[in-house]
Amino acid sequence: MALTVKDILELPSGQRMKLLAGGKGLTRPVVSVEIADYEFAPGIKFVPEANFNLQDDMEPGSFIITSFLFAKDDPSLILSSIEIMERMEMAGLAFKQIIYDQLPTEALAFAEKKNFPIFSFSKDLWFENIIFDIMYAVQFDDKVYLSEEKIDNMLSGKMTRSELDIILKGISLKLRRYISVIYISGKDLDAGRILRSFYLLKGFHSKGLMVRYEDSLFLITTSDRGDSKSHDLIRAEAFELLGIGTGMDEESILIGCSDVHEPAQLDKAFRESHFCFTASSIEGSAFAHFSDTGVYQVILPSIDTDESVAFAKGITSAYDSNADLCETVKEYLASGGDVTKTSAALHCHQNTVRYRLGKIRELTGLTAASDSELFMQLKIAAVITNAKGG
């Protein structure tokens, strides 16, 4: 299971908290931690650039820590704020005993009735200690449930249904009706820094979850909407908040995006994002989503079969010892099968290109193939070879 309020009590800072009410709610999941010391104050005017919105900036499932500064002069605000937190599906509340040593009876009664956990902690426990402990625990859980070994199993299609169910229930992200996955890689990508920054993001953990895979990253997005545009907007928001792409060369980072699926197909979404990345790498230009990769949708999922490898080798081995023919095939495929463009790229006559293509037909046994059939078979063989690192 994902981190719960009860688990917080096992953390170093949690062991110094005292439960006051809502003990039956200790199984509530915790996805993040928030400080609330002014958000519930009446009459506060936020500066325009802060763009604060209580419903959007405080994530459901967050554990709230506060000193009740906003209620310093009006204890009645304590109950109203707790009612709002419970309605917003917060995980629980812990207050520092600076302004109040105890809470109003009606506030504790409400928490007990709604199974909303409330704790107190002393002045010598810092907010920062609680935040660090909780976010480290959340990140550790995600790392366990989405370890590199488990991601490998998803990418290879070897993950069982029961293993996937455990992941879906264990990760900190509360999955909505639809999900998508983005694979992010590049020579300038500082995966460690970005991942640390991600877990400190405020107001985003209900939309996405990021995990590290080798020197790259996977970002899972979730939404009640099943259109790609909605998930693209979540991805764009995450990239902006995390500075992904900022200050990097355009070619230094490449992504692959899956199509949109239901959560039960998370493993498929992982594979699609990696396939999309591979297709973009081979083509040298980014595809928007897996469904935009054309023939790669058929080739990449079956690329490791003996039949695929044998097919590619049977074609490419016929000419791979001839540098001129290899270069001709490369430019011919890059031009989309256009002889005129191929000859221009090779700085030779069109007849030279036709002669070399004729030679390739002979060597591969494709003498009876039409131009379109020749192009397609050369293309498929090249895709398999490149994807396999050949």
Structure confidence by residue, pLDDT tens digits, 163-188: 999 999 889 888 999 999 999 998 87
At residue 199, the pLDDT reads 85
Average pLDDT over residues 140-149: 92
At residue 49, the pLDDT reads 40
* Better-scored residue on pLDDT, 44 or 167: 167
At residue 194, the pLDDT reads 92
Residue 51 has pLDDT above 80, yes or no: no
Contact criterion met (CB below 8 Å) for 93 and 66: yes
Average pLDDT over residues 151-163: 94
- Closest by Cα among 210, 71, 386 to 378: 386
Is the C-alpha dihedral spanning 242, 245, 246, 252 positive or negative? positive
Residue 122 has pLDDT above 90, yes or no: yes
Q: What pTM was estimated for this model as a whole? A: 0.72
* Better-scored residue on pLDDT, 381 or 51: 381
Query: What is d(CA 206, CA 189) in angstroms, rounded to the nearest whole number?
Result: 24
Most confident of 63-77, 199-213, 369-383: 63-77
Listed in sequence order, the DSSP H helices in the chain are 5-8, 54-57, 76-87, 105-113, 127-145, 148-156, 161-170, 191-198, 228-242, 266-283, 296-299, 306-316, 323-334, 339-346, 350-364, 371-387
Which segment of 8-17, 32-41, 127-136, 183-192 scores lowest on mean pLDDT? 32-41
Listed in sequence order, the DSSP H helices in 306-349 are 306-316, 323-334, 339-346
Name the percent of the chain lying above pLDDT 90. 61
Residue 40 has pLDDT above 70, yes or no: no
Confidence of residue 273 (pLDDT cuts 50, 70, 90): very high
Which segment of 70-74, 145-149, 216-220, 355-359 scores lowest on mean pLDDT? 70-74
At residue 27, the pLDDT reads 94
DSSP 8-class letter at 122: -
Query: Which domains, and CATH codes, for the chain?
Result: 5-139 (3.40.1390.20), 161-283 (3.30.70), 303-387 (1.10.10.2840)
Residue tagged 């895709």 (tokens): 383
Residue 46 has pLDDT above 50, yes or no: no
Query: What is d(CA 274, CA 271) in angstroms, rounded to the nearest whole number?
Result: 5
Contact criterion met (CB below 8 Å) for 69 and 37: yes
Confidence of residue 302 (pLDDT cuts 50, 70, 90): confident
Confidence of residue 53 (pLDDT cuts 50, 70, 90): very low
Average pLDDT over residues 291-303: 86
Which segment of 22-36, 192-206, 313-327 scores lowest on mean pLDDT? 192-206
Contacts of residue 176, Cβ cutoff 8 Å, sequence gap at least 6: 222, 223, 224, 263
At residue 303, the pLDDT reads 78
Query: What is d(CA 138, CA 201) in angstroms, rounded to the nearest whole number?
Result: 13
Mean pLDDT of the chain: 88
Which segment of 168-182, 202-216, 222-236 scores lowest on mean pLDDT? 202-216
**What does the block give as tokens for 364?**
């591969």
Residue 47 has pLDDT above 50, yes or no: no
Contacts of residue 291, Cβ cutoff 8 Å, sequence gap at least 6: 259, 297
Which segment of 3-7, 294-298, 321-325 scores lowest on mean pLDDT? 294-298
Query: What is d(CA 264, CA 159) in angstroms, rounded to the nearest whole number?
Result: 12
Query: What is d(CA 256, CA 78) in angstroms, rounded to the nearest whole number?
Result: 47
Q: For 210-263, what is the HEC assignment?
A: EEEECCEEEEEEEECCCCHHHHHHHHHHHHHHHCCCCCCCCCCEEEEECCCECH
Residue 52 has pLDDT above 80, yes or no: no
Residue 390 has pLDDT above 60, yes or no: no
Nearest-10 Cα torsion for 217, 218, 222, 226: 130
Confidence of residue 309 (pLDDT cuts 50, 70, 90): confident
Contact criterion met (CB below 8 Å) for 36 and 58: yes
At residue 2, the pLDDT reads 74
At residue 389, the pLDDT reads 62
Query: What is d(CA 144, CA 205) in angstroms, rounded to the nearest whole number?
Result: 18
**What b/e sequence results for 92-130 when a residue is b if at least 16 CB atoms lie within 10 Å of its CB, and e otherwise?**
bbbbbeeebeebeeebbebbbebbbbbbbbeeebebeeb
Strands of 32-35's sheet in order across: 18-21, 118-121, 92-96, 62-66, 32-35
Q: What phi, psi does 383 have (nearest 5°)?
A: -60, -50
Say whether 106 sits in a helix, a strand or coil. Answer: helix
Distance of CA 364 to the CA centre of its chain: 43
Query: What is d(CA 302, CA 311) in angstroms, rounded to the nearest whole number?
Result: 12
